Structure 1
Amino acid sequence: MAQTTGPNVDGTKYNTSSLAAVPFLNITPDSRSGAMGEAGVALSADVNANYWNPAKLAFLEDNDNVSLSYSPWLRQLVPDISMSYLSYAHKIDDRNTFGASLKYFNYGTIQFRDNTQNDLGTYSPNEFALNGSFARKFGEEFSLALTAGFIYSNLSNAVFATGTGAQARAGTAVDAGVALYYNHKIQEFGTDAIFAFGTNISNIGSKISYSNNGPKYFLPANLKIGVANTINLDDYNQLTLTADFNKLLVPTPPITDANGNIVKGVSNDVSVPVGIFQSFSDAPGGFKQELQQITISTGLEYWYDQQFAVRAGYFYENPNNGGSHYLTMGVGFKYDIFNFDFSYLAASQQNSPLANTLRFTLSANFGGDKNAKKQ
């Protein structure tokens, strides 16, 4: 994760971003939420809840659900980076659902050369995360879920890593998560509506290292909290408004002097549990900086006759914490058991590497009532 800086009172700079490895874990994989400002924790249940909020899996209507998403990534910079995401869910019974997902990130092909520009061959770095989730419904409005996963990150090839004193290797780690989801039927403007709340704590796990006896890095442990409000305008028209708030649960680097002594903040060389709790109060810039580390996603979704959807959203990140902000938009089509979704990212900043990001998702649902309307 990139490090950014902000001003101290004396005009010097302090780090405002938390540093973590394998940031691909927190990249939005699917087109539906990708079109809604990257909000999805409290949206109605679909199979990509494996990523957003596994507790929603308990509210799936169909017995078996599968989805495949693909996105060319950072095409403004590199032509062959891409992300793929496969998600599956199976309803065990009316209250219990199992989910599994695989996220694969391909960094393209890198050409290696020595100091005299001799060709040393090529290498294709890649990372993947494999997760399994179990969701259980408690009553008709509330559910909980637990997730466990395995992470593999192979960013360097040991064949080309020599002379450093440490042998490069692929990094591996295990992680876990917990999620909850609540939805309640209400009346708004004289018509049926649903208010939903969700939260997901993910990527809690062991630190990862890329070399023997080398430094270990935090996983991007993450807290998402979201709300959504869906109103049935009439028998054919449905509108959803949603918002997510996101914070990394990773320690913020302290301010140090030229000798490496901490002058503001606290040490980030701590264990994973300490780092998670510390992440709420360790920013050198105080509470103001802690608030600046929260990103905000907002989105809306309009469905016509549960066959055609139009989506739009906005993502905001404080300028002292990276400064990304962009509009998103997309469409969705449903035919029989199949769904196709598409999203487009329109970056607000000039020359943003995220500009024109596309996401494509194809999903299918089996064993449910085809005439049931999506809630």
Structure 2
Amino acid sequence: MREIYILLILLFSINSYAQTRKYSNEFLNIGVDAAAFGMANAVVANTNDVNAAYWNPAGLTQLEDNQIALMHANYFANIANYDYIAGAMPLDHNSVAAFSLIRFGVDDIMNTTQLIDEQGNIDYNRISLFSAADYAFTFSYARKMPLDGFSYGINAKVIRRIIGDFADAWGFGFDAGIQFETKNNWHFGFMARDITTTYNTWNINEEEYKKIQGAIDGKNQELPETTEITLPKLQLGIAKNFTIRHDFDFKTELNLHTRFTQTNDLISTKAVSITPSFGFEVGYIDMVYLRAGVGNFQNVEQFDGTTNLGFQPGFGVGFKYKGVHLDYAFTDIGDQSVALYSNVFSLKIDWRVFR
């Protein structure tokens, strides 16, 4: 019965769209790249490879050659799969284009709504399987600005969400980012997500939806609203890079993640909520990397009414050899107090490997 419970939860989430949703498309807030997860996602100012298309597209201008990236992670005790693929290509000395695809899905969910036939008999042959999956297709463009050290980037996102034959949605949105690098290795980043407000429009299969109504007698008698929005979010980052004795590189970064609504973030008002994240990376001879970070500080309410401070830690290692980057992170999707930990692997390849 676990699978049908998952189905009902997914459909309840659609039903909540009757009011303006503040947290739609949450799968796009998880992040990409095990190297970034290892630093608790504190990478907005320093990101400078193909994965910058997600974190801050302005960082794509640091690419000198084509790159591709892959990532896979399991969440919720391997119930959900999270996959990512991206590619970036310099267009000239000043501009770069990129494309990425993210999929977050629960597959092979058992649909038992038709388990009992018209005569009241249980017929296991009437069980079918379906998937509930979210997709994001992102097209990125970045360019260096005439001002020395400045660059900007823009994302155009197409979102596709599918819940079996029950419902599906299309969404569209835009992101924009800026980076600035000083001559003494200070880095500054600004990333605005969903700057125009991202809209999702749902199509509900009324016939299939009514079958779910029968599974919950007396509830969900009306079809849910079919429009949801994703409110803008801002991320600010400041980073400093060091080189120690030519063998060790040290990278640190502090980010502030801002949402224009009241949440459980560390700093929360009716107008804005802010939570910090901090990460660092130590690299040895540009081959071996050790990473750690902490972020997503939340005031978590307990059953007894008290509030504890929750946070999301991250740890990771990375290896680089002849243009092949392999990274691993040990982290979670929420915070250390309420979520299961996950092992995240990602691969990044410089295109020169194939030449």
Normalising by structure 2, report the TM-score: 0.76
**Judging changes above 3 Å, is the alpha-carbon distance between structure 1 residues 92 and 120 closer, same or farther for their aligned structure 2 residues?**
same
Instruction: Give 3-state SS (helix, strand or coil) of 2:39's partner.
Output: coil
**Judging changes above 3 Å, is the alpha-carbon distance between structure 1 residues 94 and 349 closer, same or farther for their aligned structure 2 residues?**
closer
Q: Contact 2:73–2:344 at 8 Å: present in 1 too?
A: yes
- Higher mean C-alpha displacement, 49-58 vs 20-29: 20-29
**Judging changes above 3 Å, is the alpha-carbon distance between structure 1 residues 356 and 309 closer, same or farther for their aligned structure 2 residues?**
same
Aligned AA for 1:147?
A: N
Matching of residue 206 in structure 1 with residue 199 in structure 2: yes
Kindly tell me the number of residue pairs found equivalent between the two proteins: 298
**Judging changes above 3 Å, is the alpha-carbon distance between structure 1 residues 334 and 98 closer, same or farther for their aligned structure 2 residues?**
same
**RMSD of the TM alignment (CA)?**
2.9
Aligned AA for 2:69?
A: S
Instruction: Give 3-state SS (helix, strand or coil) of 1:102's partner.
Output: strand
Equivalent residue, structure 1, for 2:150? 142
Instruction: Give 3-state SS (helix, strand or coil) of 2:42's partner.
Output: coil
Aligned AA for 2:36?
A: S
Matching of residue 343 in structure 1 with residue 345 in structure 2: no
Q: Distance in 2 between matches of 1:27 and 1:316?
A: 11
1:50 deviates by: 0.7
Q: Contact 1:294–1:317 at 8 Å: present in 2 too?
A: no
Equivalent residue, structure 1, for 2:71? 69
Equivalent residue, structure 2, for 1:100? 99
Q: Alpha-carbon deviations, 1:152-190, whole Å to 9, x = none? A: 0012423xxxxxxxxxx201111111110111121xxxx
**Correspondence list, 1:205-244, <5 A:** 205-211=198-204, 214-215=224-225, 216-219=227-230, 221-244=232-255
Normalising by structure 1, report the TM-score: 0.72
Q: Larger helix proportion, structure 1 or 2?
A: 2
Aligned AA for 2:134?
A: E
Aligned AA for 2:331?
A: L
1:292 deviates by: 7.5
Aligned AA for 1:313?
A: G
Equivalent residue, structure 2, for 1:177? 175
1:30 deviates by: 1.1
Equivalent residue, structure 2, for 1:313? 293
Equivalent residue, structure 2, for 1:327? 313
Unaligned regions of 5+ residues in structure 1, if any? 3-17, 159-168, 187-193, 253-282, 369-375
- Higher mean C-alpha displacement, 86-95 vs 18-27: 18-27
Q: Contact 2:104–2:133 at 8 Å: present in 1 too?
A: yes
Q: Alpha-carbon deviations, 1:288-323, whole Å to 9, x = none? A: 525883222110000111111000000132215996
Equivalent residue, structure 2, for 1:124? 131
Aligned AA for 1:151?
A: I
Q: Distance in 2 between matches of 1:316 and 1:205?
A: 23
**Correspondence list, 1:293-304, <5 A:** 293-304=273-284
**Judging changes above 3 Å, is the alpha-carbon distance between structure 1 residues 224 and 329 closer, same or farther for their aligned structure 2 residues?**
same
1:236 deviates by: 1.1
Matching of residue 34 in structure 1 with residue 32 in structure 2: no
**Correspondence list, 1:156-195, <5 A:** 156-158=164-166, 169-186=167-184, 194-195=185-186
Aligned AA for 2:281?
A: E
1:49 to 43, 48, 52: 52
**Judging changes above 3 Å, is the alpha-carbon distance between structure 1 residues 65 and 290 closer, same or farther for their aligned structure 2 residues?**
farther
1:366 deviates by: 2.6
Equivalent residue, structure 2, for 1:361? 346
Equivalent residue, structure 2, for 1:15? none
Q: Contact 1:70–1:360 at 8 Å: present in 2 too?
A: yes
Q: Distance in 1 between matches of 2:230 and 2:47?
A: 28
Q: Alpha-carbon deviations, 1:217-274, whole Å to 9, x = none? A: 112532111111111122111111111111234x55xxxxxxxxxxxxxxxxxxxxxx
Instruction: Give 3-state SS (helix, strand or coil) of 1:170's partner.
Output: strand
Unaligned regions of 5+ residues in structure 2, if any? 1-9, 11-20, 117-121, 206-222, 302-307
1:145 deviates by: 1.1
1:155 to 146, 152, 163: 163
**Judging changes above 3 Å, is the alpha-carbon distance between structure 1 residues 323 and 28 closer, same or farther for their aligned structure 2 residues?**
farther
Instruction: Give 3-state SS (helix, strand or coil) of 2:44's partner.
Output: coil
Q: Distance in 2 between matches of 1:305 and 1:291?
A: 46
Q: Distance in 2 between matches of 1:111 and 1:24?
A: 22
Instruction: Give 3-state SS (helix, strand or coil) of 2:230's partner.
Output: coil
**Judging changes above 3 Å, is the alpha-carbon distance between structure 1 residues 87 and 211 closer, same or farther for their aligned structure 2 residues?**
same
Q: Distance in 2 between matches of 1:339 and 1:144?
A: 25
**Correspondence list, 1:84-95, <5 A:** 84-95=83-94
Aligned AA for 1:361?
A: S
1:44 deviates by: 4.1
Percent of aligned pairs sharing the same letter: 22
1:59 to 58, 62, 66: 62
